[in-house]
Amino acid sequence: MKLYEKTVPIIGQKAKQLPVPSGYRILLAMPEMKEQTDGGIFLAEKHKEQEQVASVVGFVVALGPDAYKDPAKFPNGPWCKEGDWVICRTYSGTRIKIHGKEFRFVNDDTIDGVIDDPRGIERA
């Protein structure tokens, strides 16, 4: 949980309100969009929200108890673990907000890849 607190800020007591994923679902924290581009152009709030909703990058907060347990479906083991940054499909999962921060529940088989650094990755 230490890495999560550093990369996706949540104040102590608020973190206790995070839901626990059920079954084969994964809870992702979605990164917040920057206020401005690298060139210094400020982004409109509506544009920031649209890009955040369509984000393909998420931070794995928790795995459900059945995630990656099917050896026939996942013969090589789990595709990701808690603390990983992952790439998933645009608009995938169930969106929720807790204290203004967006989270998503996605199915274990919708993770497309694990990445070390999410900076600079955007949907095409």
pTM for this prediction: 0.76
Confidence (pLDDT) at 88: 93
Q: What is the mean pLDDT of residues 62-74?
A: 97
29 closest CA partner among 54, 64, 61: 61
Give residue 6's pLDDT band: very low, low, confident or very high (50, 70, 90).
Answer: very low
Domain boundaries, the chain: 2-11+24-115
Q: Which residues contact 9 (CB under 8 A, 6 or more apart)?
A: none
Q: Is the pLDDT of residue 13 over 90?
A: no
Q: Does domain 2-11+24-115 have CATH number 1.20.1560.10?
A: no
